[in-house]
Amino acid sequence: MNYYKHHLFFCLNERTNGEACCASQGAQAAFDHCKARVKAEGLAGPGGVRINKAGCLDRCAGGPVAVVYPEGTWYTYVDASDIDEIVEQHLMQGRVVERLLLAPDVGR
């Protein structure tokens, strides 16, 4: 058994050279919203869900991005309602949110 059922990493990388980055696209607000929502739903902690910050995940062209493990499901999102959908569908019901999937060929 895994320590966490799901581990969700949000790229919060910030680039100062003008290149695209998740931090400039609201990633911190999405992370904060997700963390609060998971806690409010009682999903946080061992055997449940862990929400973590990550540095660059090297998928900048699709940003902002987040990835759910152990599945390795990559998402892109726009706002808090997208994050809510990931929490409700993927983390709570085990169903991938197809419309938010990051295309497999998207890189930096």
The rounded percent of the chain whose pLDDT value lies above 90 is 86
pLDDT tier at 90, thresholds 50, 70, 90: very high
Cα–Cα distance between 74 and 101 in angstroms, integer?
A: 6
Task: Give the per-residue pLDDT at 88.
Answer: 98
Q: Where are the domains of the chain?
A: 6-100
1 pLDDT higher than 70: no
Record the pTM. 0.93
Q: Which CATH number fits domain 6-100: 3.30.1490.100, 3.40.30.10, 1.10.10.60, 4.10.80.40?
A: 3.40.30.10
Cα–Cα distance between 15 and 61 in angstroms, integer?
A: 13
Cα–Cα distance between 31 and 26 in angstroms, integer?
A: 9
When pLDDT is averaged across residues 1-6 and rounded to a whole number, the result is: 88
Task: Give the per-residue pLDDT at 19.
Answer: 81
When pLDDT is averaged across residues 1-15 and rounded to a whole number, the result is: 93
**10 is written with which tokens?**
């949000």
